Amino acid sequence: MTKAIALTAGDPAGVGPELLVRLLVELRVDPAEDVVVISSREELAAGVADSGIDTDVDALLDPAHVRLIEMDRPWPPARGEVGAEAGRWALEGLQRALALHEAGEVAGLVFGPLNKTSLHLAGMTEPDEMRWFENRLGAAAAVSEVNVSTTFWTSRVTSHVALREVADLVTPQSVRESALLLHRLLVAAGVASPRLAVCALNPHAGEHGLFGDEEITAIAPGVALAAETGIDVVGPFPCDTLFRRGFDGTFDGIVTMYHDQGQIALKTAAFDGGVTLEAGLVLPICTPAHGTAFDIVGTGSASLDSTRNAYRLARKLVAGVW
């Protein structure tokens, strides 16, 4: 199978077109960086203008290892705002990428930042893109958004759900599956023997049931189930002190119970360069771990760090397991 990576800009109203252009400028010099760009000449021209880079669309597409697949719908010119047309454009780009994977033409996908409101205005019924991908690709085991920093990775037992629902969704099985998924991904990325820790849900890890019993009834049993498979996993630990042990290298991965538990730590200490991996699917799907940044569209100030790292991670995973 080809090792080509599909690229989309994500939401066309955000900084995605600029980031796509910046990435293509870097990739055009290496013929080993085989990519399929799902976009349009109009979108790429907008990205060139946003970036301020001295290039043009023809130069971006000139290398033989860079192939453009034109979108079927008109490019929505509105920038820096939520909109249904932008959502439809983004969803069609993702759908085209999945079709290319099914046809054996690409082995991975990197997409630019999305806006969930625009996606829902466009008709997406799933709560987020992770579930959208899952519904179209299926999954043999647990799926999760996994966040990657330069020092450690996090997986989530729950993700885009209301906080009031989290406790009911934290079960021994869901904790076990999140730990096993994180272990498999770290091994695929080259960590031979990942060291994992698991977050508590409640303050002070519940203080032996004083502040909630999920640590006793769900999380600790889930950790034990995961450890029985032979992986190195410990916990639960209070989350207010655990993340420093990820940043200092004690742990390679941390299993979190809900979205902001891990995201606050990672985005405070390592915002630039973070990557989100849509994990547990049949191909590696990566995206920068930041939003559409409507407020800086057209200023030429979008950082490529996270998008570059998303591409490099997808490339590494394609070479390793997919």
Q: For residue 192, with 0-12 CB atoms within 10 Å meaning exposed, 13-18 middle and 19 or more buried, which class applies?
A: exposed
**What is the length of the chain?**
322
Q: 275 in a domain, yes or no?
A: no
Q: 274 in a domain, yes or no?
A: no
What is the per-residue pLDDT for 262?
86
Q: 183 in a domain, yes or no?
A: yes
Q: For residue 64, with 0-12 CB atoms within 10 Å meaning exposed, 13-18 middle and 19 or more buried, which class applies?
A: exposed
Q: 191 in a domain, yes or no?
A: yes
Q: Global pTM? A: 0.86
Sign of CA dihedral 9, 10, 12, 14: negative
Q: Are residues 8 and 128 in the same domain?
A: yes
Q: What is the CA radius of gyration of the chain?
A: 20
Which tokens is 43 given?
A: 């979108």
Q: Are residues 137 and 172 in the same domain?
A: no
Q: Are residues 214 and 316 in the same domain?
A: no
**Which residue segment(s) compose the domain that 242 sits in?**
151-269
Kindly report the number of other CB atoms within 10 A of residue 143's CB atom. Answer: 21
Which tokens is 211 given?
A: 């502040």
Q: 113 in a domain, yes or no?
A: yes
pLDDT tens for the chain, 322 residues: list them: 468 999 999 999 999 999 999 999 999 988 888 999 999 999 999 999 999 999 999 999 999 999 999 998 998 988 999 999 999 999 999 999 999 999 999 999 999 999 999 999 999 999 889 889 999 997 656 788 898 887 889 999 998 889 999 999 999 999 999 999 999 989 988 899 999 999 999 999 989 999 999 999 999 999 999 999 999 999 999 999 999 999 899 999 999 999 999 888 888 877 778 899 998 888 999 999 899 999 999 999 999 999 999 999 999 888 875 4
In sequence order, the β-bridge partners of residue 195 are: 232
Kindly report the number of other CB atoms within 10 A of residue 247's CB atom. Answer: 16
Q: Are residues 125 and 155 in the same domain?
A: no
Q: Are residues 180 and 48 in the same domain?
A: no
Q: Are residues 181 and 241 in the same domain?
A: yes
Q: 26 in a domain, yes or no?
A: yes
Contact (Cβ atoms closer than 8 angstroms) between residue 93 and residue 100: no
In 3D space, the residue among 258, 132, 284, 140 whose CA is nearest the CA of residue 198 turns out to be 258
Element (H, E) at 135: helix 129-137
The CA distance from 133 to 85, in Å, is 20
Q: Are residues 118 and 11 in the same domain?
A: yes
Residue 169 phi/psi, 5-degree rounding, is: -90, -10
Count: domains in the chain: 2
CATH number of domain containing 249? 3.40.718.10
